Amino acid sequence: MALELLLFAIGGVVLTMSLLAGLISNRLWISEVTLCLLFGAALGPLLGYVAETQLFGDNRMNTLEEVARITLGIAVMGTALRLPMSYVRSWWRDMGVVLLLGLPLMWLTGAGMAAALLGVGLLPALLIGAITAPTDPVVAASIVTGRIANAKVPARVRHLIQAESAANDGLGFLFVMLPILLLTKPAAEAWGEWASRIVLWEVGGAILIGGIIGWLAGKLFVWAKKKPYSEDESLLTIGLALSLTVLAGLELIGTDGILAVFVAGIMFNRGISDIETHQHNLHGAITRFFDLPVFVLIGVLLPWKEWLAMGWNALFLALALVLLRRLPWWLVLSPIIPSLKKRDETLFAGFFGPIGVAAAYYAMLAHDKTGIEWLWPVASLVIFLSVIIHGISATPLANLLGRRLERYEDKAKG
């Protein structure tokens, strides 16, 4: 009964979002992701005891971890296929700056905020900073896609936000695993395992193997597409199958499956550059059918009692992480990020660093490995505020950015 009720609710909300997509994003100025989270938050107390005992039981954390992992895999594949086919090669400098400098700076900033506001030790603070550092591809996609975003936000800015959000979800694994290992093993052993197993194999191996699989899949797709019996609408099926195959296969051999999926998607996208595809339709199908349900689930599992018990400092931390962990560093780094040509573009891209499914996944992973109970209450509060704040501000700020850029153009002409 409980499972059927949850499936009915999720199916109903996804159906509603699909039917009213244009109205929601362009007229109501609120993202579909935000509505799904709020719907789940309202549904959770209604399910109450039934959800705890019949639906999830003691496995609710594991359930959310697996659902979040699969959602991330599909989301980063969708992002890879939406990007221009030569994006990484053409804009490698931008990607290098935001991933090699921006991501570690967000991690350390978040850790400092956690230590100051929660009064926790260095390693737990580093863990919270790592969990909340990666930006979310699902929420980012809802911000930078659609009629208004396409018309008002320059493509180079939209592409940078999307590419960063997909890539740093996989690379964030590096920063999450370091404090986990230091919390659970002797220091020398932890550093050695992090350097050898995490950096070289789980991340390096994921990049190499994911790239090879994506390249081979692209070559096979091009070969098959040229055959007279090929179907025109096969990209959606192949994209989903590729994401699940790489995600599961590389997890089986002990590597970072999420990062591997993104790399595979980038290489697959490059390999099919001479084939006409319908990538924007792929985004819509993937987002509504696969990405939105996880936010209903997150909403159902929000720990209201734990939030109240944590006090005001937890709320201040969540707001600081959402608003301040990223924007100051983007202002500092913007001179070496070619995609950001105007200060207004930097402010827009720096503000929109949403926290979502990736934080839920890493919080569950860290809880499983360390047993720290307060990780999910803190992470979920950050997710909730980020989805609300970014979800309701995306359309107004996109319109504002568009007007300001038009004003710059008018001044340049006049």
H-type helices in 326-374, by residue range? 327-333, 343-351, 357-370
pLDDT averaged over 10-residue windows placed end to end, the chain, 414 residues:
69 74 65 88 74 60 88 91 85 93 97 96 97 91 79 91 92 96 96 95 95 92 75 71 94 92 92 57 61 88 92 96 96 94 93 94 95 94 96 89 82 64
Q: Minimal CA–CA distance to 355: which of 134, 141, 108, 176?
A: 134
**What is the structure's pLDDT at 46?**
73
Q: Is residue 410 situated within a structural domain? A: no
The whole domain housing 319 covers: 31-404
Q: Is residue 81 situated within a structural domain? A: yes
Q: Is residue 388 situated within a structural domain? A: yes
| Residue 68 belongs to domain with CATH number | 1.20.1530.10
The DSSP 8-state label assigned to residue 336 in this structure reads G
Q: Is residue 79 situated within a structural domain? A: yes
Distances (CA, A) of 403 to 30, 153, 408, 411: 20, 10, 9, 12
**What is the structure's pLDDT at 51?**
57
Q: Is residue 25 situated within a structural domain? A: no
Question: Hunting for tokens 């992090």 — which residue is that?
Answer: 194
**What is the structure's pLDDT at 263?**
95
**What is the structure's pLDDT at 144?**
80
**What is the structure's pLDDT at 288?**
67
Q: Is residue 7 situated within a structural domain? A: no
Counting the structural domains of the chain, the total is 1
